[in-house]
């Protein structure tokens, strides 16, 4: 309590405004409940609006492949054709996505993402019409390849957080964790929604609803111009592929993608062997749920030390936990026990992906953030394709239980590459922060 002074009695008591704003005694201040970091994150002006639009546009990413397989296989009676069409779309995305991301960095999100999304939606509708009216098989490949122009919605959202948070390490950690949890949620709900729509209404319903959600969400996202990062028409930096530390990180992404692709195929085969193929979606959803919950918990804490030091530990935890599904499948053979093992193993996924994407942001040169993160996603997609093929081969020639050794081997490879990628330090030009006084997390 301030003491009375000769300047007047009104200075002898604290400001009542300050007293009402913080009634907690100073001695009890350390025991006050901390504010929810996610509430603080979404309290930034415009954050809720662009997040809602982005989530709406991101949900179809988990719908399109399932919808295409159901639609094509149901109409043409060939899962091989359906798989080949979706694989073609994956390959086209790996080629086109980095180019779209580079245009986004140079010309702005709204200017590029909206027409690219509309073109991709037209590709989805073309696929629907080709299947519906019995067009030749080659038209299916051409139509689905056109969907490769879909922008990396998750990368654009992370770029907005980086711009909005001005490179604040703690806030960016929370934002990256939130985005990873959103990814897991979308890829958990998307296939379930697609299967429900295709099974309840029409085989084409999943593709049609997915296209509508994609366009609506992207238009909502792009309309939030106040949070859009400024374009960089003439970036002074070279491609992220030449940035220190990025190539080994892309190798890590490739190996992590193999983990996801192999786990999905092997789990479906394992459930099918036991006559519960329909339960495979629920088992995989549990893995995504474990990752989603862990991602939100990871974002609520402030891990110590630089990201490059934490990264190998996260990958090591992921490698160790992936041995649980292998043991559950090989030693016990119970689908219920496998589901629990995948739930626990999934808890290491989000922290690993959060630290991986944080390193990509730190090491990507200025003005090329969307391109750098899209390259990481492209690595994941390539790994998913390789992991799916390898897991399928092991299942066919050995057994589904043995197939769970493939994700463990892929995670161990990712751990080796993470140890290599730890060495380079981000250069000043590659650090996302625009406030040099802050230390990157």
- Residue ranges of the domains in the chain? 46-234, 237-435
- Start-end of H helices in 223-300: 246-273, 280-300
CATH topology of domain 46-234: Growth Hormone; Chain: A; (1.20.1250)
pTM: 0.76
Neighbours of 38 (CB within 10 A): 16
Q: Which two tokens stand for residue 92?
A: 């086209």
Cα separations in angstroms, 255 against 217, 282, 317, 408: 31, 25, 15, 10
List the chain pLDDT tens, one digit each, 441 residues: 444 443 343 333 444 433 334 444 444 444 344 568 899 899 999 999 999 999 999 999 888 987 888 888 888 888 778 878 888 888 898 889 999 999 999 999 999 999 999 999 999 999 999 999 999 999 999 999 999 999 999 889 999 998 999 878 888 899 989 998 888 888 778 877 887 888 889 889 999 999 999 999 999 999 999 999 999 887 676 778 888 888 999 999 999 999 988 888 888 788 878 777 667 778 888 888 888 899 889 988 887 778 888 999 999 999 999 999 999 988 878 888 999 999 999 999 999 998 998 888 888 888 788 888 888 988 888 888 788 888 888 888 888 889 899 999 999 999 999 987 665 544 433 334 333 333 333
3-state DSSP call for residue 63? coil
Cα separations in angstroms, 405 against 288, 349, 379, 436: 19, 17, 21, 45
- Are domains 46-234 and 237-435 of this chain identical in fold? yes
Class of domain 237-435: mainly alpha
């Amino acid at each position: 309590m301030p003491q009375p002074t000769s300047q007047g009695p009104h200075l002898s008591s604290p400001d009542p405004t300050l007293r009402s704003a913080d009634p907690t005694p100073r001695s009890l201040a350390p025991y006050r409940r901390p504010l929810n970091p996610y509430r603080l994150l979404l309290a930034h002006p415009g954050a809720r609006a662009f997040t809602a639009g982005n989530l709406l546009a991101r949900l179809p990413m988990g719908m399109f492949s399932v919808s295409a397989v159901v639609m094509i296989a149901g109409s043409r009676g060939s899962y091989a054709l359906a798989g080949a069409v979706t694989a073609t779309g994956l390959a086209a995305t790996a080629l086109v996505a980095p180019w779209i991301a580079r245009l986004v960095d140079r010309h702005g999100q709204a200017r590029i993402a909206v027409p690219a999304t509309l073109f991709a939606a037209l590709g989805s509708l073309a696929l629907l019409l080709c299947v519906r009216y019995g067009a030749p098989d080659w038209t299916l490949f051409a139509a689905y390849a056109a969907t490769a122009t879909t922008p990396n919605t998750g990368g654009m959202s992370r770029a907005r957080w980086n711009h909005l948070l001005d490179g604040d390490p703690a806030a960016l950690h929370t934002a990256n964790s939130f985005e990873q949890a959103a990814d897991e949620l979308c890829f958990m709900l998307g296939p379930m929604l697609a299967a429900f729509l295709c099974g309840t209404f029409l085989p084409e319903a999943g593709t049609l609803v997915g296209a509508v959600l994609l366009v609506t969400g992207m238009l909502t996202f792009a309309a939030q111009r106040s949070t859009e990062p400024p374009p960089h028409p003439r970036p002074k930096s070279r491609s992220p592929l030449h940035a220190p530390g990025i190539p080994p990180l892309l190798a890590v992404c490739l190996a992590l993608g193999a983990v996801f692709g192999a786990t999905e195929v092997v789990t479906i085969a394992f459930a099918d062997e036991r006559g519960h193929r329909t339960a495979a979606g629920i088992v995989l959803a549990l893995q995504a749920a474990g990752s989603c919950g862990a991602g939100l918990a990871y974002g609520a804490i402030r891990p110590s030390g630089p990201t490059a030091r934490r990264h190998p530990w996260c990958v090591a935890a992921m490698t160790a936990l992936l041995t649980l599904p292998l043991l559950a499948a090989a030693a016990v053979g119970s689908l219920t026990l496998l589901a629990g093992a995948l739930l626990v193993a999934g808890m290491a996924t989000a922290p690993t992906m959060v630290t991986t994407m944080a390193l990509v942001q730190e090491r990507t040169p200025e003005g090329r953030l969307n391109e750098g993160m899209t390259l990481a996603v492209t690595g994941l997609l390539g790994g998913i394709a390789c992991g799916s093929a390898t897991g399928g081969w092991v299942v066919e020639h050995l057994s589904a239980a043995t197939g769970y050794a493939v994700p463990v081997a892929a995670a161990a490879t990712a751990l080796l590459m993470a140890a290599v990628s730890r060495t380079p330090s981000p250069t000043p030009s590659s650090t996302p922060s625009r406030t040099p006084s802050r230390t990157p997390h």
